[in-house]
Structure 1
């Protein structure tokens, strides 16, 4: 069957590479998604192990769309009662990019009606709809004259890992953090530093990656558990094979934040893991941060001045000066939505990637800090 893994804009290649590592070499890149072929055991495995996807969908039906009625008629052809019980709640979500429909919510209502009518015709009763916390999530995607109906086997987005007890006002999305680590080509051995660690997302995702522990190991909710074909024994077998505990990490991880409340939240989030005691966290501003000698990686998400008030010129100017004068031998990676901030770093990036953190368009930039002339070069736009 066709399995579609959704992700954020700009992360399609990263996800395809991760899937290759997980044993799925053949994939097709779509818009904010990657498609593979597999079985239900793969669906369970991917929900647990994939780090760079938002959700895992199983395609039920693909069809041409000429009129509004086509959606209802095609949805009626699906044997919904074989997928879930009438006692389960459901919702229809997705995305519509088509001029056929004048109202963006109407296509979802058509699918909902088809599902309800299927159960009424067969069982004489109908399942309830629960938009906020449905047990079954049906996904509808329409692009111009093509429609795809799928079942979302994840339910809640996979960036809701289950490990983060405390967050700040502008947290970095966990899927984005996992993708940044892959994009940096960090080797899981070299020291990794985040001087603006917030509630610790980059540090935790790095520790999970280095230890070979699935990012979703603490998560208990998956929508596939509510499906009629759920194989509890198969799921238990897959889950039991996953790494859960480590006695040590193969690398040094150091984080810090100027906000003592954020440092407390990071430590609280780390406490739930066996590796928590190995991660060093400092309550320090970036100019007081105890950067070790290189080689090392710095991957960080400084305030953008969007959701957290900050003096962008002073903060990024200080960070740029530290990078130039103190971080020789470092590979530095900065994600930000602040173009002004990047200018105040006063460094030329080796690479730039466009991506999103939530609804904010960001740039992720690599700076290799050399001895000699290049370290002082101005950034060119």
Structure 2
């Protein structure tokens, strides 16, 4: 039987809690939250499953060795202490990603170079041949993390960041990262329990991620490849078994998922991406201006969107955000509306009091995810009705 080993799932600031929950639901063991990461244990099959399924992970690393080093000689010696032929052949390629938070080492490029020398020298001494570097399609991606004098060596199981789901070929201006979109949806409590609307849908990322959550479709089922597929211990049969078992757990969705956008080009891109994800049966997209719209469905509506803010597009902020508040208040009764913005001042102009505010980062921009609860009738009436029951 495959042995369990430790893994680390990297994520965005603010998503640690939901990533830990995802891992627990998936069956991970010894789940522990850190900063922008969650560690856990599982076997090789679980490593495949985690890469396929996790919506809020950016990367999954498999730690293989750690040691202390406070100079380049100790670093070289420590990396030489790993038997690299277990993971790599002399005719294969590799690349090193280094992250450094240390007074002893201040350049990640230098660290990468030193580690590369140690690996190459080990092969040359043992075989007379050496593996080469390939930064684009390496056979093995090695992750080196140095904090103070502690060096952690890990294998990157994912390859390209897991936000690259494989369905998005067309993007709009400033598209939202797929992992960020999925995390926002999960933070908003979206599980497919009502109608869903993104009234500024851009290239359709929220719509696609919302449908995948609602139908329990694995986040990375459309992805072309993972780094572990080039590993020496790659087990294609096990991988296919896990894909089949995950696909058997998908479910039907009995509400509507709808998006609209003012720009015809955005609507076309959204339709392309939704088609790539095989989700046309669940999502409809049309051209339309949120500020001229009104709620089209009976019952509760779950709304999530990413309005433009001044880092990205040239709009008149005060009027734009006031329009958001007015449209919600006047045209969307019975709606839980969530949106993310990097313009913290603009929130004042919405004119509604948010019931929740969550600090997130969109790239390097500090942002807020806010929730507005729009009641049927006035809020006072709602509470009076509840009290009289």
TM-score, normalised to structure 2's length? 0.91
C-alpha distance after superposition, 1:212-259 (max 9, x if no partner): 111111112111111111111111211232328979533211111111
Distance 1:69 1:40 in 2: 34
Equivalent of residue 217 in structure 1, options 217, 221, 231: 221
Counterparts of 1:163-242 in structure 2 under 5 Å?
163-242=167-246
Match of 1:308 in 2: 313
Distance 2:222 2:107 in 1: 39
* CA separation of 1:18 and 1:246: change in aligned 2, threshold 3 A: closer
Q: Is 2:133 the counterpart of 1:117? A: no
Match of 1:358 in 2: 363
Equivalent of residue 296 in structure 1, options 284, 297, 301: 301
SS at match of 2:247: coil
Counterparts of 1:339-354 in structure 2 under 5 Å?
339-354=344-359
Counterparts of 1:64-103 in structure 2 under 5 Å?
64-103=68-107
C-alpha distance after superposition, 1:339-380 (max 9, x if no partner): 1321111222111111122232211111112343689xxxxx
Distance 1:48 1:373 in 2: 43
Equivalent of residue 325 in structure 1, options 298, 307, 330: 330
* Deviating more after overlay: 326-335 vs 267-276: 267-276
Match of 1:379 in 2: none
Equivalent of residue 46 in structure 1, options 47, 50, 70: 50
Distance 1:247 1:18 in 2: 17
Q: Is the 8 A contact 1:353 1:364 kept in 2?
A: yes
Q: Which runs of 5+ in 1 are unaligned?
A: 376-381
Distance 1:235 1:343 in 2: 50
Q: 1:284: how far off?
A: 0.7
Match of 2:262 in 1: 258
* CA separation of 1:265 and 1:309: change in aligned 2, threshold 3 A: same
* CA separation of 1:270 and 1:290: change in aligned 2, threshold 3 A: farther
Q: 1:270: how far off?
A: 1.2
Distance 1:269 1:235 in 2: 25
Q: Which runs of 5+ in 2 are unaligned?
A: 382-389
Q: 1:206: how far off?
A: 0.7
SS at match of 1:27: strand
SS at match of 1:277: coil
Q: Is the 8 A contact 1:192 1:297 kept in 2?
A: yes
Q: Is the 8 A contact 1:247 1:274 kept in 2?
A: no
* Deviating more after overlay: 241-250 vs 48-57: 241-250
Equivalent of residue 18 in structure 1, options 9, 16, 22: 22
Q: Is the 8 A contact 1:65 1:146 kept in 2?
A: yes
C-alpha distance after superposition, 1:180-200 (max 9, x if no partner): 111011231211110011100
TM-score, normalised to structure 1's length? 0.93
| Matched positions, count | 375
Q: 1:65: how far off?
A: 2.7
Distance 2:16 2:62 in 1: 18
C-alpha distance after superposition, 1:57-89 (max 9, x if no partner): 000112223333222111111111111222222
Distance 1:283 1:228 in 2: 49
Q: 1:149: how far off?
A: 0.5
SS at match of 2:267: helix
Distance 1:258 1:4 in 2: 41
* CA separation of 1:102 and 1:56: change in aligned 2, threshold 3 A: closer
Match of 1:283 in 2: 287
Distance 2:135 2:123 in 1: 19
What do you get for the CA RMSD once the two structures are aligned?
1.9
Distance 2:107 2:268 in 1: 47
SS at match of 1:354: strand
Match of 1:243 in 2: 247
* CA separation of 1:361 and 1:249: change in aligned 2, threshold 3 A: same
